[in-house]
Amino acid sequence: MTSPAPESNSILSLPDDLLMNCVARVSILYYPTLSLVSKSFRSLLASPDLYKTRSLLDRTESCPYVCLRLQSRENPSWFTLCRKPDQALTCDTSNKKKNGYVLAKVSIAHPPPLQSSSLVAVGSNIYNIGGSNPTSSSSLSKFDCMSHTWSEAPSSPVEMFTASAGVLDGKIYVVGSCEDEDSKSLKDTFEVYDTKTQVWDHVPSPYNGKRYNFKILCIDEKWHVGNTNGVDDLVVAYNPKEGKWHQVIMCDYTDSNAYCEIENVLYSVDKLFYGIEFKWYDTEVSRWRRMEGLVLPGTPTHHVRLANYGGKMAVLWEWEEEHLTYSWGGDKKKIWCAVITLERRKNRGIWGKVEWFDHVLTVPGTCALQKVLVATV
């Protein structure tokens, strides 16, 4: 008689359904590390069935994706937030810093060129709306944050030279410039893409001002469209529920890429000499107000990006330190990340509290922090 073979202690020896059920309960922040275990794990983590299981178990999470241009002439590189498996959280609450987070590079074959203003996240997908000056484009591509693959989506019926986009209720609103067939000059256009029906629609606008440096911002579920170059103070707002436009008074319309909307409040930053100060837009008095209780260290010369991280604010910024001399010649600099909880006080002010912040990546001095997007997976 032959003796039975010893049972394997490997987790991969579990039945497929049980293994998937186990992995679905693990935080998405550990998936970049799990993908390094074996080819079987990489295949499992790219399986649509895994994310269906996460949804059924109510385990879906907000997952930040960061777009960096490491070299000026290269296509962008993508990273996602990851927990270090070998480093426990500290209990040092005096400086509100908790160690253990890094940015892990996402392996993507042939990422498309992009503009940061035309990148948006809807559910588990990131969309890239074409349009790069001076060449017009109508392309739309989609990045699946589960399988980490790009694919083509239905093109816009209008070719745009510039585009600024935002998302509301699963629809992508895009404002840009296109060529007028009659006059051959540029005119404004406002297009909407429904990600559920995959159909484009045009929104007629009564305002056809020359706003070639567009910014589209969502405040109180209304789209505000204005010029960011300071030449034209006109800001117009569109209410999708009513299908109506109107002019608004919006002082200091932001020309920064460091902004995000959280629970119908618009947040932005001022880069001061001593650090990064946060502000929010009060629609009742039509002015920006300073966020209380929060200033992050940094310098005013570097990029800052904000994102809605499940109702909290994710902040990424470049931080120059004395031993990391910054220059365009190729020296190093650091990317830092912070997660901030927001609290509305009785005096109608908003207070920010740092939940954690950490150095998450060291990059070449030529690197540019372009965009932070949060997908749901």
Instruction: State the average pLDDT over residues 195-212.
Output: 82
Residue 3: what pLDDT? 52
Mean pLDDT of 233-254: 83
Q: Which residue has the higher pLDDT, 257 or 273?
A: 257
Domains annotated for the chain, with CATH where assigned, are: 9-60 (no CATH), 61-376 (2.120.10.80)
pLDDT attached to residue 312: 96
- Mean pLDDT within 230-243: 79
Average pLDDT, the chain: 82
pTM: 0.88
Max avg pLDDT among 2-6, 268-272, 320-324, 356-360:
356-360
How sure is the predictor about 321, in pLDDT bands with cuts at 50, 70 and 90? low
| Helix, strand, coil fractions of the chain, as percent rounded to 5 | 10, 45, 45
Tens-digit pLDDT profile for residues 325-351: 444 445 888 899 999 999 988 777 899
